[in-house]
């Protein structure tokens, strides 16, 4: 059903692109109602407009908190044009219909990112705008609702094509967008209050997100995918792509895994190599080039086609090392001119500058079949107060630092997880096995294959306790001299005895790091 647009109400905090819309409204003799800054802007642009207070006969009050909340406005929006009773009531009150609402909200989102002043933030919670939007969206059968200035062009094309009218299909589409916006807006406000009041798990959880881009496909070509940003700054992720193809779903998944680990490497230059969301090489060193080489040699076969993240600037020397291998993505805190010239020679290599990226402490969410699990992020590495050496041999200061490094990497590996380290670099990683013994054997196998000389005196970290002594025996037999694990098994004493017999060091953290 195509309907003529006779009266429009425009109330926008963002005045951009308004003139293009005003031109077409004038062309089809559509009356405009507005107030405040929007009214002044329309008049300044040279277009006729009725001031809202004159239209309603009611002056706005309470510093503008009450202006569009008026029966003449909401009856004009909500009445059913096909309902005789509605038409009679509107006629008796002399309330004309309002056929088009163009609204965008107070910039709550912008204010939240720029100030911590609660009073200012609360004053920028829009009431009248969302109320009008919901009313118009409910009555899409009769009313047009535009909530995004990017949709002005669609409205203009619709009015031009239908000579001042709009189609039901168009009105329904705009209605769905409008309800999406009000839900998003309210979710942001609810989340702000929850954060302010330190409510981590509210009774009703709303997750807001703006689509940043459609991705080519999901994990596999037959799956669809999009990237959303759930943050008050929702138009960027904080990093810049300099070169290469568009990022895929799997690229982003690996990048996020890499950035989480990278954020924990603060002692020295850190390098993280990710493949299928699992680390296959992690290293810290004062020298960035050595850090890169050590991370890569941890498992060079798995690193093929992987994602590398570095907390340092890429130089020409490091770029030469990168170019020796096939990689999907390189993330770093800047690139010098020489390195970019080399790296850009590989046209498909995605080069990402993360100089301005900040990892925010958001919740972890997993969804399935109409439900979702929410948990706080696993931010603990080792609680030194709970760290307990359970063997006769005790660690020195350097051992403690490397134990912390190994256990930190371990918490980012899919369970069951075993990580072998030597001199602040991984040398073997066993990930995602149903059996902890299998993970031990895989980690040892990797180390023997690529760096057999470094197994001796290496450190092994386990994300959970060893249920039997077979796992630690596999590590001891390979040459591991220090094991760090949470402890808590009913066979802990049996395992401690095996460690003492082999004359190795074992520490209990009291912290489990499952990562499923």
Contact 481, 421 (CB under 8 A): no
Which whole number is the average pLDDT over 485-502? 94
- pLDDT tens-digit series, residues 62-93: 766 777 778 888 888 988 888 888 888 878 88
CB-based contact 455:476 (threshold 8 Å): no
What pLDDT, on a 0 to 100 scale, did the predictor assign at position 287?
97
When computed from its CA atoms, the radius of gyration of the chain, rounded to whole angstroms, is 30
In this prediction, residue 318 carries a pLDDT of 96
pLDDT of residue 60 exceeding 90, the answer is no
This prediction has a pTM of 0.88
Instruction: Report whether pLDDT(452) > 90.
Output: yes
Among 292-306, 379-393, 456-470, the minimum mean pLDDT is found in: 379-393
Q: What is the DSSP string of 192-225?
A: HHHHHTT-SS-SS-----EEEEEES-SSSTTS-E
Q: What's the average model confidence in pLDDT over 323-329?
A: 93
Rounded mean pLDDT, 402-428: 95
Residue 508: pLDDT band (50, 70, 90) is very high
Q: Are 372 and 388 in contact (CB under 8 A)?
A: no
62 Rama class: left (phi>0) / alpha (psi -120 to 50) / beta: left
Mean pLDDT score, 262-269: 92
Confidence of residue 445 (pLDDT cuts 50, 70, 90): very high
Mean pLDDT of 294-305: 95
Per-residue confidence at 17, pLDDT binned at 50, 70, 90? Answer: confident
How large a percentage of the chain has pLDDT more than 90? 68
Confidence label for 61 from pLDDT (cuts 50, 70 and 90): low
Catalytic machinery residues: 138, 276
Is residue 152 within 8 Å of 122, Cβ to Cβ? no
Domains of the chain in start order, with CATH, are 3-196 (3.40.50.1380), 223-228+236-353 (3.40.140.20), 388-508 (3.40.140.20)
Mean pLDDT of 114-133: 87
């Amino acid at each position: 059903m195509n309907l003529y647009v006779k009266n429009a109400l425009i109330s926008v905090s963002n005045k951009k692109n308004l003139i293009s819309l005003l031109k077409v409204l004038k062309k089809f003799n559509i009356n405009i109602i507005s107030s405040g800054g929007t009214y002044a802007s329309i008049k300044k642009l040279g277009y006729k407009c009725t001031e809202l207070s004159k239209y309603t006969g009611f002056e706005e009050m309470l510093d503008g908190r009450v202006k569009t909340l008026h029966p003449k406005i909401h009856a004009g929006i909500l009445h059913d044009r096909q309902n005789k009773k509605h038409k009679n009531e509107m006629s008796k009150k002399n309330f004309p219909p309002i056929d088009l609402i163009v609204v965008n909200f107070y910039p709550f989102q912008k204010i939240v990112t720029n100030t911590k002043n609660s009073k200012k933030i609360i004053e920028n919670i829009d009431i009248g705008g969302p109320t009008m939007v919901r009313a118009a969206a409910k009555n899409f059968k009769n009313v047009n609702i535009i909530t995004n200035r990017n949709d002005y062009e669609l409205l203009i094309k619709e009015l031009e094509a239908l000579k001042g009218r709009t189609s039901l299909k168009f009105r329904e589409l705009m209605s769905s967008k409008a309800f999406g916006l009000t839900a998003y807006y309210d979710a942001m406000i609810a989340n702000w209050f929850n954060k302010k009041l330190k409510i981590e798990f509210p009774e009703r959880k709303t997750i807001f997100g703006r689509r940043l881009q459609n991705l080519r496909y999901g994990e596999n070509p037959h799956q669809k995918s999009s990237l959303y940003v759930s943050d008050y700054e929702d138009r960027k992720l904080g990093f810049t792509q300099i070169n290469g193809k568009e990022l895929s779903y799997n690229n982003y998944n690996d990048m996020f895994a890499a950035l989480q680990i990278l954020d924990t490497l603060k002692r020295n230059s850190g390098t993280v190599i990710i493949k299928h969301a699992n680390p296959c090489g992690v290293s810290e060193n004062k020298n960035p080039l050595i850090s890169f080489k050590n991370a890569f040699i941890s498992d060079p076969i798995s690193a093929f086609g992987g994602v590398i993240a570095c907390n340092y600037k890429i130089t020409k020397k490091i770029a030469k090392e990168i170019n020796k291998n096939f990689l999907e993505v390189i993330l770093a805190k800047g690139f010098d001119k020489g390195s970019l010239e080399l790296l850009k020679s590989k046209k498909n290599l995605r080069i990402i500058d993360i100089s301005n990226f900040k990892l925010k402490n958001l919740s972890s969410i997993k969804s399935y079949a109409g439900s979702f699990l929410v948990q706080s992020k696993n931010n603990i590495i080792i609680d030194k107060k709970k760290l307990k050496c359970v063997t006769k041999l005790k660690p020195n200061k350097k051992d403690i630092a490397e134990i912390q490094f190994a256990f930190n990497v371990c918490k980012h590996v899919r369970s069951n997880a075993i990580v072998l380290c030597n001199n602040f670099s991984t040398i073997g990683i066993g990930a995602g096995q149903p059996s902890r013994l299998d993970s031990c054997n895989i980690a040892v196998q990797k180390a023997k294959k690529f760096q057999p000389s470094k197994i001796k005196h290496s450190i092994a970290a386990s994300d959970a306790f060893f249920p039997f002594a077979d796992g630690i025996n596999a590590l001891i037999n390979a040459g591991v001299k220090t094991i760090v694990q949470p402890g808590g098994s009913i066979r802990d004493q049996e395992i401690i005895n095996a460690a003492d017999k082999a004359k190795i060091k074992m520490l209990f953290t009291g912290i489990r790091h499952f990562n499923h």
